Chains A and B, each alone.
Chain A
Amino acid sequence: MSKIEINNIYKIFGNKPDSVMQMVRDGSTKDEVLEQTGHTVGLDNVSLKIEEGETFVCMGLSGSGKSTLIRHLNRLIDPTEGEVIIDGTNIMQCNSEQLMDWRRNRISMVFQRFGLFPHKTVMQNVGYGLEMQGKTEDDRDKIAMEKIEAVGLNGFENQFPNQLSGGMQQRVGLARALATNSDIMLMDEAFSALDPLIRSDMQKQLMSLQSELKKTIVFITHDLDESLRLGDHIGILNAGKLVQVGTPVDIIMNPADDYVKAFVKDVNRAKVIKAKIIMKKVNEVNGIDKSNLIKVHEDQFIEEFLPQIVCTNANCEVVDKSGNTKGYITNKELQSSLTKS
């Protein structure tokens, strides 16, 4: 069973969403619906599964419905139709008590513009979720301090959010989300408002935290590089429809349609594709020149061993952790994987 299952979600914004449902089901596009009824289609029959412990990145341009989608998971937005099942429970059927309990303990969120409380100190901000859980102030401060240390903000705990830089503010947001010890974390364009250097810093930090914590993270972004870097799986949304779900390599190697193609066109493939993806397996290979071989680990990105190959004009031998040969890479494979489709 998947951790999160989203089944046939429709979301229509407007005065009378139900009246438009039939039209949307019959396959009218977003523009048609808007023109004829004045309703905006936010999500159009979206279904997906997210596994426990993975980072699922939801990608799309602005207006594609990605922020709407993520808000369905903690019901900041209710769908017009469809269900969201988390750990086997349909959260659409929760009453407001259960929902509140759910939000306090199971799911936390990081916001694009941080969503910090300007009248509370960093410590109080981080402890907010714990306060909602009903913990005493001493407990709150203790856990909050741990999380503040985890994101590297020691010494700033008594400052107010406005006294911090953007990157530091988002660290507070991250610490706040981590503090409740929820198993699901929603990140709504969490790093989009940060400048590139700080953004990559934060990505690194998130990845290292995630490697310890193994939370289920749903990450929203419009930045393909970010999604390739962070995502175990990526879902691409266009005009409220989910056009493709797959691993980063899937998306790059087999884009489902022109929209996805346009997205991945400018990606630096050498940065994303690992050796094991493009290698030819041992049993498929014959007649390779084995006189001049370079050993490459299977999880290495092409980028890392490409310069060596170019200089020595050698072939690669791909090995796993214990040194067993898994396959070979020749110039031909390199060429086909790096050529833009």
Chain B
Amino acid sequence: MFKDKKNLFNLGLLGIFIWMLISSYSSSKRKPETIGELFTDLSWLGNWPKWLDLPLMPWINKWFKALNENYGFIFEAINNVLLAMLMGLKNFLVQAPWPLVIIGVVILAYFASGKKIKTTVAVGFCTFFIGFLHPRFWDKAIETTSIMLISIFLCLVIGVPIGIWMSRANRVREKILPILDLMQTIPAFVYLIPGIMLFGLGAVPAIIATFIYAVPPLVRLTDLGIRLVDTEVTEAADAFGASKKQKLWGVQIPLALPNIMQGINQCTMMALSMVVIASMIGTRGLGDEVLLGLQQLNVGRAAEAGIAIVLLAIVLDRITQSYGETLQERNSPSKKEKK
């Protein structure tokens, strides 16, 4: 029964392949006059023949156009929601006095790092230096951070549940892993362009692109984290009659949290690098400054903006990373004692 299904599936794949061959041949403008010529004139075996060309490009363009025309309102709705969130966050941070923002970041770092003074002071100075490098950078850094935070929020809301789902069902895992591979290997520009067409220039396609680029490590590490929870511990939860929900929230997620935090950290770092690339599609922010420096061959300007990005990365990394570390210490307090 199972084997039959597999055979049927393979037969289906073969059918699709043959259909592709036929459609590429029939839609090609440079095919021979008659099929008979293929057998009499064998020169097509030398160079790759012009007619053996899968018309994927027109297909995708057609499909994409139809998508845009028929379902444009969906993308517009998404666009509006994301833009509203982004604007709200950005305007709040921009309008707040800058010393208050720095103090806020410092307080966040203080508690996230488990009250480590060293980390907190370093984070505070890094934040200060972003504006100190060039006053214009302050608002731009806030814009960049806002785009990232919205993307990371999307990553969390979508990525973590998918990771949990993967960890529970091998079949889901098998199907999602190749998609993650695809998301990580496909060049960012390939989905930046359709992003512009669907959402217009600006911040929203950047958010979508950042999401696509940054979510795979979070999904993977969530899945891994839950799988790495000691089987005996999950067995113990089962043996005492925990329901699936109780096991997930009471045991698996708390124990996977250091790994999930590592995922969020990775997600943040990747999001930052993507936000820079996204400046190429007109997203404003620190990446914009690098691009300007590049266009004007102004080494100093590009370097200044580059340093600002690194500082921003350090701030975000320290906050997310050290939160993961404090969690880990909580789970293995014996290590803490040795220090």
Contact = CB atoms under 8 A, between A and B. Distances in A.
Interface of A: 74, 76, 100-105, 107-109, 111-119, 128-129, 132-133, 160, 162-163, 176, 180, 186
B337 A163 contact: yes
Interface in B233-285: 233, 235-243, 246, 251, 254-255
Given A160-B333, A163-B333, A115 B235 contact: yes
Given A118-B255, A119-B330, A119-B331, A108 B239 contact: yes
Nearest to A130: B240
A129 B242 CA distance: 8
Residue from A102, A111, A112, A114 having most chain B Cβ neighbours under 10 A? A111
A109 B230 CA distance: 16
A118 B332 contact: yes
Contacts of B47: none
17 contacts: A76-B239, A100-B241, A103-B239, A103-B240, A109-B235, A109-B240, A112-B232, A113-B232, A117-B251, A118-B331, A118-B332, A119-B331, A128-B237, A132-B241, A162-B334, A163-B337, A186-B239
Contacts of A100: 241-243
A142 B222 CA distance: 36
Residue from A102, A111, A119 having most chain B Cβ neighbours under 10 A? A119
Q: What are the 10 A-B residue pairs with the smallest beta carbon separation, nearest first?
A: A104-B241, A103-B241, A115-B236, A115-B232, A109-B239, A129-B240, A162-B334, A132-B241, A100-B241, A119-B254
Nearest to A112: B232
A105 B239 CA distance: 11
A76 B232 contact: no
Tell me the dominant secondary structure on chain B's binding face. helix
A186 B331 CA distance: 27
B250 to A, nearest CB: 8
Residue from B241, B251, B254, B333 having most chain A Cβ neighbours under 10 A? B241
Contacts of A133: 241
Given A105-B241, A117-B255, A162-B333, 16 more contacts: A103-B238, A107-B239, A109-B235, A114-B232, A117-B233, A117-B236, A119-B254, A128-B237, A128-B240, A129-B241, A132-B240, A132-B241, A132-B246, A133-B241, A160-B333, A186-B239
B330 A104 contact: no
A188 to B, nearest CB: 9
B236 to A, nearest CB: 4
Nearest to B233: A115
A112 B239 CA distance: 14
Interface string B204-241: 00000000000000000000000000101101111111
A160 B331 CA distance: 8
A186 B233 CA distance: 15
Nearest to A119: B254
Nearest to A114: B232
A102 B241 CA distance: 7
A76 B232 CA distance: 11
A194 to B, nearest CB: 15
A127 to B, nearest CB: 10
A113 B236 CA distance: 11
A119 B230 CA distance: 13
Contacts of B238: 76, 103
B222 to A, nearest CB: 17
Contacts of A109: 235-236, 239-240
Interface string B302-339: 00000000000000000000000000001111100100
Residue from A107, A109, A128, A180 having most chain B Cβ neighbours under 10 A? A128
A180 B242 CA distance: 13
B229 to A, nearest CB: 10
A34 B162 CA distance: 36
Contact of B255 (A76, A119, A186): A119
A117 B234 CA distance: 9
A76 B332 contact: no
B255 A180 contact: no
Given A115-B232, A119-B254, A132-B246, A108 B240 contact: yes
Nearest to A111: B232
Contacts of B330: 119
B241 A101 contact: yes
Nearest to B257: A119
A111 B236 contact: yes
A118 B330 CA distance: 9
Contacts of A118: 233, 255, 331-332
A129 B251 CA distance: 13
A107 to B, nearest CB: 8
Contacts of B235: 76, 109, 111, 115
Contact of A104 (B230, B240, B333, B337): B240
Contacts of A104: 240-241
Contacts of B246: 132
A273 to B, nearest CB: 36
A91 to B, nearest CB: 13
A180 B333 contact: no
Contacts of B237: 117, 128
A208 B246 CA distance: 34
Contacts of A111: 232, 235-236
B337 to A, nearest CB: 7
A53 to B, nearest CB: 21
A190 to B, nearest CB: 12
Contacts of B333: 160, 162-163
A63 to B, nearest CB: 17
